[in-house]
Amino acid sequence: MVSAQHSDKFSDDDMNQEPLAPSDTPATQVLRIFGIGSAGIKVLEQLTNSGIPPSSLIAIHSDSAALSVCAKAEKVHIDSKAVSRITGKDAAQNEGLSGDDPLPRLRALCAGAQVVFVVAGMGGLLGTSLSSVIARTARETGAFVLGFIALPFDCEGSQRAELAYAGLKEFRDAADLVVCWPNQKTLGLINEGTSLLDTFTVSNELLAGCVHAACRALGSDAAMGLRFLDLCRTIRNCSSECLFAVAEAAGANRAIEAANRLLAHPMLAADGILQSARTLAVCIVGGPALAMVEVNRIMEQLQARCEMASLSMGAGIASELGDTLSLAVLLTPARVASSRTQSGAENGNADLAPRSQATSSGMQLLENDSGTRRNSRFLPPPPALPPEKMEQLLKQQARSAGRSRKNQASFRQTQLPLEILSKGRFDKSEPTIHKGEDLDVPTYIRRGMALN
């Protein structure tokens, strides 16, 4: 369905040769992809296979055996003691405690990168705790941090889920934008006989496909609309959590096909996700032959399905894509946007953080850390007003309210509902139309026969 194993060569060579030299041209943005924990490393492994240069991949794990799986990537081994040390308290305060503090190394790896992707699975020890540390470190070095966060299956138990959502919350505050990847969504893609390992592979492949598409979008030359990073920023203005879906198609009918595949993507397949989306950012990347008609067709398809959303788009050219058209969509479902504005929202936020309102001891630990992060992107607190200004505003409001009441009271001509005449006995049946004539209408009327 969504192919992640596209064998194009991402990223220009200069990016690989001089990874630490930042450049202003967007096509040569320096990118680092951190894979944290088992889930992150598995995604990195997929990415290595799909042609992402290994020099930009960094695998982090507490188990050196797990690290060895990812042969080509840069490896950072952080033992569990170090993890608890740097996450247990504020990381900056325990520099003198140990000689093998991993933070300077992480900082060095982030240095010079303009964009950092953090790929991790939440719910475990490493991903949950370390990802926000890395995000924070990367942000300190000035990078744009985009997280790809896999959330546990429902059947993995409430404790793990709570831990995951607590981790997600922390990460959300540390990163610029978080792509949530509920593993539960992949259940729709497997069948009865799929093994446990294969299920995770499916999920990791899909996630790797998203990361790959994001890399490609980042590396493409902007041809129309916004660049990928700007698209991410428009999404961030609405919410720091979003869903991400990608699709690819090649051939003559690729635009329609890609759009259809995108709509069938497990992240968008749930009823009403697209319709209720608040913000939608579409990134279309194709080879040099990418046609305006195709872009137009895709946008029309998407627009028709999400009339409510504020839509932004960007189209880019990546010559290595050839005949293939890659389509990526970032979107904020309505429920996420609203849940951020009203903390006690109903438990309908199933896609991103359904259990974030759950009362539990694990949650309370992290509830009170707000305020360290940048200002909320939603409903900034009302500015403090001097009393006379407030009075003036209230008066104005009262005046306008009075006017509107008056307007409501004024007579308005309404339209009478169209009353459909009953067709008697044939009311509920299909009309019998023969050569344009409705045979249910009495013949003598149709023939204009006079009865006197």
Partner 1 sequence: MFDPSSIIVGLEIGTSKVCAVVGELNAEGALNIVGLGQARSRGVRKGEIADVPAADEDVRHAIVEAEQMADVEIRNVYLAVTGSHLRGFNNRGVHPVVSADREISEEDLQDVIKNAKTINLPAQNHVIHAIRQHFLVDGQDGITNPVGMLGARVEVDVHVVHGNLNRLQNAIRTVKGLQLEVDDIVFSGLASSLALLSNEQKELGSLVIDIGGGTTEYVVCANGIIKHTGVLAVGGDHVSNDLAYGLKVTLSRAEQLKIEHGSALPGENDKGKTVTLSSELGLQPKQINLEHLHRIMSVRLEEIFQLIGQDLEQAEVLDYLRAGIFLCGGGARIPEIAALAEKVFGLSAGVAKTSSISGLKSALDQPEFATAIGLVKFGSFQQRKRVKGSLADGIRTTLGQIFRR
Decide: is 432 part of the binding site for partner 1 (CB under 8 A). Answer: yes
Task: Give least dist CB 426 to partner 1, A.
Answer: 7
Decide: is 451 part of the binding site for partner 1 (CB under 8 A). Answer: yes
Decide: is 252 part of the binding site for partner 1 (CB under 8 A). Answer: no
The residue type found at 397 is Q
Rounded Cα distance between 58 and 248, Å, is 26
Binding-site size, partner 1 (CB under 8 A): 17
Pick 388 or 430: Cβ nearer partner 1: 430
Decide: is 398 part of the binding site for partner 1 (CB under 8 A). Answer: no
Decide: is 412 part of the binding site for partner 1 (CB under 8 A). Answer: no
Decide: is 449 part of the binding site for partner 1 (CB under 8 A). Answer: yes
Give the burial class of 66: count Cβ atoms within 10 A of its Cβ; 0-12 exposed, 13-18 middle, 19 or more buried: middle
- Pairing mode of beta strands 310-317, 221-225: antiparallel
Decide: is 448 part of the binding site for partner 1 (CB under 8 A). Answer: no
Quote the DSSP letter at residue 7: -
Q: Which stretch binds partner 1 (CB under 8 A): 88-96, 159-167, 358-366, 431-439?
A: 431-439
Task: Out of 387, 412, 429, 436, point to the residue binding partner 1 (CB under 8 A).
Answer: 429
Rounded Cα distance between 106 and 349, Å, is 34
Q: How far is CA 242 from CA 147, 367, 434, in A?
A: 10, 21, 54
Q: Which stretch binds partner 1 (CB under 8 A): 220-228, 287-295, 402-410, 436-444?
A: 436-444
Asked if 308 and 276 touch (Cβ cutoff 8 Å), the reply is yes
Decide: is 374 part of the binding site for partner 1 (CB under 8 A). Answer: no
Tokens encoding 428: 């509920």
Task: Give least dist CB 422 to partner 1, A.
Answer: 11
Pick 409 or 420: Cβ nearer partner 1: 420
The residue ranges of DSSP E strands in 21-73, in sequence order, are: 31-36, 57-61
Task: Out of 88, 272, 288, 442, point to the residue binding partner 1 (CB under 8 A).
Answer: 442
- Sign of the alpha-carbon dihedral angle for 201, 206, 208, 209: positive
Q: How far is CA 303 from CA 44, 131, 166, 239, 313, in A?
A: 33, 35, 34, 20, 11
User: Which of 231, 208, 209, 207 is CA-nearest to residue 218?
Assistant: 231
Q: How far is CA 328 from CA 218, 281, 314, in A?
A: 11, 8, 10
Tokens encoding 138: 């990367």
Decide: is 24 part of the binding site for partner 1 (CB under 8 A). Answer: no
Decide: is 101 part of the binding site for partner 1 (CB under 8 A). Answer: no
Q: Is 282 helix (H, G, I), strand (E, B) or coil?
A: strand
Pick 415 or 422: Cβ nearer partner 1: 422
- What is the 3-state composition of the chain as percent helix, strand, coil, each rounded to the nearest 5? 45, 20, 35
Decide: is 434 part of the binding site for partner 1 (CB under 8 A). Answer: yes
Decide: is 416 part of the binding site for partner 1 (CB under 8 A). Answer: no
Decide: is 421 part of the binding site for partner 1 (CB under 8 A). Answer: no
Pick 412 or 447: Cβ nearer partner 1: 447
Decide: is 445 part of the binding site for partner 1 (CB under 8 A). Answer: yes
Asked if 119 and 146 touch (Cβ cutoff 8 Å), the reply is no
Decide: is 438 part of the binding site for partner 1 (CB under 8 A). Answer: no
Pick 191 or 429: Cβ nearer partner 1: 429
Pick 157 or 431: Cβ nearer partner 1: 431
Decide: is 425 part of the binding site for partner 1 (CB under 8 A). Answer: yes
Task: Out of 192, 195, 428, 436, point to the residue binding partner 1 (CB under 8 A).
Answer: 428
Asked if 136 and 170 touch (Cβ cutoff 8 Å), the reply is no
Decide: is 413 part of the binding site for partner 1 (CB under 8 A). Answer: no
The residue type found at 151 is L
Angle at 180 between CA 177 and CA 184, to 5 degrees: 180
Task: Out of 24, 271, 307, 430, point to the residue binding partner 1 (CB under 8 A).
Answer: 430
Pick 378 or 426: Cβ nearer partner 1: 426
- Summarize as ranges the residues that interact with partner 1 (CB under 8 A): 424-426, 428-430, 432, 434, 439-440, 442-445, 447, 449, 451
